[in-house]
Amino acid sequence: MERLIVAYNWYLAAHVIFVIFWMAGLFMLPRYLVYHQEALAAGRAEEAALWVEREGKIRKIILSPAMIIVWLLGLTLATIGQHWAEPWLHAKLLFVLGLSGYHGWAVGYAKKLAANKPTLSGKTLRMLNEIPAVTAAVIVVLVIVKPF
């Protein structure tokens, strides 16, 4: 049992570390999309090409690997800690699923911009940029406070 508790703490530490990496990417990529879209609108093709490269790197090096590791570690923690029956975990998973969908949307929109096919205004992009922060705050409250 003691080994399981030690393993749990290591998994938890790794989970938090990779959540930080994933959130950093979720804060950065949408901001990159704003700058990329502005470069396209201003006709700065060379700058837009640089944003395509940057977006690809952040996605491949940080964002997607971190999300996968967060999910694997989170599911492992829920199993080891026997949290599956706890309502706060179900709510947390719903919000993490939402963040995963947001991640997918941001990657998809980056691909639209790379194809020079923007569909949103800069203002809308800036507003969508706030989703990860609000969602992360809700998740932290669910995990720490466990309101239900």
Tell whether 92 is in a known binding site.
yes
Taking 3-state DSSP, the helix, strand and coil percentages for the chain, each rounded to the nearest 5, stand at 85, 0, 15
Element (H, E) at 47: helix 45-57
Tell whether 57 is in a known binding site.
no
Residue 4 in tokens = 């399981």
Element (H, E) at 15: helix 2-41
C-alpha–C-alpha distance, residues 141 and 148, integer Å: 11
Question: Which residue positions form the known binding site for heme?
Answer: 15, 92
Question: Which residue positions form the known binding site?
Answer: 15, 92
